């Protein structure tokens, strides 16, 4: 009998194959695809859907194929379409084509009770589990680098900013710990994403399930998932895990960009607060004196790229009816790019932060020439019985007179303070020193030395434990 060609009489047009093939992108999922297939074939044999002998041949061949791909020797990956209509379509069919080539008809039994629809949904969740774990580790590495700088510079004071204007004196460690706290929320988002994505969609088939007596929960356990995606339509059409992961990457990049922006500003001649290590700065092709904060700028720039990945993914999904649509093939490039970009940015930022040398004298020079202790003077008057609004107005007037006369708070005497308010006494002169105002802070989470010391100890303890904490 003549072999059937299936639904189609001929091969896909070469240009149509080239346009529709995702193999160049999803070949990255070969490890996940083989892991999923190994779990699937173990379940098929356990449920007597295929024989133990066939399962054994398939398992061995799949492991051989894994090694072939690792060595770059899988023909289907080198010559898309080398056998069969769909062999060059994607990583699933490339591996299956090679499997059949190695073990014959038995290889064709692997796809029993599954579809590429639930297969790719599984592969992506397995990928996110690995990439998400790396994201959590890289975030923690950067937190540790920032914490080390905070400990090293725990006594350094700096002007805090709002609206990019001098606001109130701070401990530099307090400022750095703000970045640590922001990153901790990023770590939490990554962990939340992993918890929700940790369900196996395999066994949903194309969308309606299967008539074979499969055990989806066995496959889930085999793959280390605590459960399955219950609804078979949802299992193949859902890409929330990808959206959440890329969104987590985008928020992380936003935080890296804010840190990068501060380092660009602080390392400039005008600010001079910090020196970036030579290994993380570049020169100019024409200006010999230049030392540019290129790595911080690149991290800041790559943030827009990851934002684009998120928008691209959301746009692909926004108009799709249930269940699977080929548009969803376009979900992998933004997923991989967001993961690659964010992981690389976290790594280089950790190294960059470790290279920083802060300049305490420049911080203090700025504090001596500003009015950032004004709130401390207003609070002093409030403690003397003046309503805050009246105290605010009195100190505001003092600032105005200083500006008009070209003086700063560092130039004032007790006599000058008394002209502002008779409530000022000799102890108020101490408030002219920025450290005094910092020391007077009492609220939890403030910049007081006591609170910052407590925070440093908390973070040292927390970041010493497992990344998933």
Cα separation of 29 and 94, whole Å?
12
Cα separation of 420 and 396, whole Å?
9
Phi, psi at 57, each rounded to 5°: -60, -45
Cα separation of 79 and 70, whole Å?
16
Among residues 11, 155, 268, 284, the one annotated as catalytic is 284
3-state secondary structure at position 323? coil
Structure tokens at 212: 């074979």
**Whole-Å CA distances, 210 to 41, 115, 214, 235, 373:** 15, 10, 8, 13, 72
Query: Are the C-beta atoms of residues 459 and 177 closer than 8 Å to each other?
Result: yes
Cα separation of 234 and 254, whole Å?
31
Cis? peptide before 323, omega within 30° of 0:
yes
Cα separation of 94 and 386, whole Å?
79
Rounded CA Rg of the chain: 31
How open is the CA angle 328-334-336, to the nearest 5 degrees? 110
Cα separation of 210 and 114, whole Å?
8
Query: Are the C-beta atoms of residues 275 and 263 closer than 8 Å to each other?
Result: no
Cα separation of 180 and 79, whole Å?
48
Cα separation of 462 and 469, whole Å?
8
Structure tokens at 285: 């092709």
Among residues 4, 48, 163, 443, the one annotated as catalytic is 163
- CB burial readout 149-165, b (16+ within 10 A) else e: bbeebbebbbbbeeeee
Q: Is 92 known to be catalytic?
A: no
Cα separation of 349 and 176, whole Å?
14
**Whole-Å CA distances, 120 to 93, 117, 203:** 11, 6, 12
Among 58, 138, 137, 46, smallest CA distance to 98 is for: 58
Ranges of beta strands (E only) in 57-101 are: none
Catalytic residue numbers read 163, 284
């Amino acid at each position: 009998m003549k072999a059937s060609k299936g639904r189609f009489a001929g091969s896909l047009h070469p240009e149509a194959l080239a346009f529709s093939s995702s193999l160049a992108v999803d070949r990255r999922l070969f490890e996940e695809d083989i892991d999923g297939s190994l779990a699937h074939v173990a379940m098929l044999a356990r449920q007597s859907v295929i024989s133990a002998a066939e399962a054994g041949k398939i398992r061995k061949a799949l492991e051989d194929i894994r090694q072939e791909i690792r060595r770059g020797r899988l023909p289907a990956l080198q010559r898309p379409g080398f056998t069969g209509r769909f062999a060059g379509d994607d990583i699933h069919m490339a591996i299956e084509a090679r499997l059949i080539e190695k073990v014959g008809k038995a290889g064709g039994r692997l796809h029993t009770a599954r579809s590429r629809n639930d297969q790719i949904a599984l592969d992506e969740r397995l990928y996110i589990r690995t990439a998400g774990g790396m994201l959590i580790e890289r975030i923690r590495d950067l937190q540790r680098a920032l914490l080390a700088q905070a400990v090293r510079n725990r006594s350094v004071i700096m002007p805090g900013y709002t609206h990019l204007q001098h606001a109130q004196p701070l401990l530099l460690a307090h400022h750095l710990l703000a970045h640590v706290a922001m990153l901790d929320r990023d770590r939490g988002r990554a962990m939340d994403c992993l918890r929700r994505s940790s369900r196996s969609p395999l066994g949903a088939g194309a969308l309606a399930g299967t008539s074979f007596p499969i055990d989806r929960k066995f496959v889930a356990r085999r793959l280390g998932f605590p459960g399955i995606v219950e609804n078979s339509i949802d299992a193949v059409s859902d890409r929330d895990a990808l959206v959440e992961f890329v969104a987590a990457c985008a928020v992380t990049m936003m935080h890296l960009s804010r840190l990068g922006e501060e380092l660009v500003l602080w390392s400039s001649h005008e600010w001079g607060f910090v020196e970036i290590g030579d290994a993380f700065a570049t020169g100019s092709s024409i200006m010999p004196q230049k030392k540019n904060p290129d790595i911080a700028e690149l991290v800041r720039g790559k943030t827009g790229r990851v934002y684009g990945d998120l928008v691209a993914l959301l746009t692909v999904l926004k108009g799709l009816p249930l269940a699977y649509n080929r548009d969803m093939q376009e979900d992998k490039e933004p997923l991989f790019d967001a993961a690659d970009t964010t992981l690389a940015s976290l790594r280089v930022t950790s190294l960059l932060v470790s290279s920083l040398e802060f300049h305490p004298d420049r911080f203090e020079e700025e504090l001596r020439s500003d009015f950032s202790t004004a709130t401390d003077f207003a609070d002093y008057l409030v403690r003397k019985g003046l309503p805050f609004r009246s105290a605010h107005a009195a100190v505001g007037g003092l600032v105005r007179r200083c500006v008009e006369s070209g003086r700063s708070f560092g130039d004032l005497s007790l006599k000058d303070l008394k002209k502002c308010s008779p409530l000022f006494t000799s102890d108020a002169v101490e408030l002219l020193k920025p450290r005094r105002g910092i020391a007077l802070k009492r609220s939890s989470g403030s910049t007081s030395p006591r609170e910052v010391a407590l925070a440093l100890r908390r973070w040292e303890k927390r970041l010493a434990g497992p990344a998933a904490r």
